[in-house]
Amino acid sequence: MVGGRRLSYVDFGGPGRPLLALHGHYNEALTFAPLAAALAPQWRVIALDQRGHGESDRAHSYERDEYVADVAAFHRHLEVGPVAVLGHSLGGVNAYQFAARHADKVSALIVEDIGAVVDCDWSFTTRLPGVAPSREALVAALGAAAPYLECSFRETDQGWGFSFGIADTVASQKALCGDHWDDWISVTCPTLLVHGTHSDELAVGHAKDMATRRAGRIRRVELPAGHVVHHDVPADFADAVTAFLPGPR
């Protein structure tokens, strides 16, 4: 519980060292199941359903400091000490802001396809179907986007929808927008920045600038993918993460 709200998470288990994972908008902890399988047994992935997503409670607000406070509470609950943290998109900003503000709690940082300056377009969110009569109808309405959202599909008495709320997501996307350079350049731990060459979220030039401004403390990897790199090229993404993280103790 954080501030009276329940936060849910998925511990994929195993004997390995813990890796905390933070998903992006429209997703939830289970999006990291393939990565958890690929990193086992050396790494034990523990993924948070962030506020308003998955089985975690909706929130009244989705501001930056509140997301970071959730990550801090998650880390405190797990009692894992300094730990590797991975985040995609929304989760990527949450991860590097947590690493910047709680340097003693993060031993390594992996940021997937999100910038130090974020300019969200929430028009896709507002076009999402509310409730569909069947899973098949929801998939059809989403078209090519369906595979990226399917881990968040939910059936209710009214029909098929999502584990996140449309209005909550728009509020979260609006709060995510902004210049976060101060946090990015404040991160001191080893960092991997992974971005998709076909991403519509993180331009190659901006990714290069992010690496330049933290020269000597960062590794940048380009992969042939869109914004959701871990979905488009799961094996390549897992290989990049494995190559970056420290080897067996």
Measured CA distances, 13 to 42, 44, 177, 178 (Å) = 11, 6, 34, 36
Distance CA 178, CA 191 (A): 21
Per-residue pLDDT of 187-231, as tens digits, reads: 999 999 999 999 999 999 999 999 999 988 899 999 999 999 999
Please give the share of the chain, as a percent, with pLDDT higher than 70: 98
Residue ranges and CATH numbers for the domains of the chain are 8-117+166-244 (3.40.50.1820)
Q: Using 50, 70 and 90 to split pLDDT, how confident is the model at 1?
A: low
Average pLDDT over the chain, rounded to whole? 96
Please give the share of the chain, as a percent, with pLDDT higher than 90: 95
Per-residue pLDDT of 147-182, as tens digits, reads: 999 999 999 999 999 999 999 999 999 999 999 999
In the DSSP assignment, the letter for residue 135 is H
pLDDT at 56 over 70: yes
pLDDT at 249 over 70: no
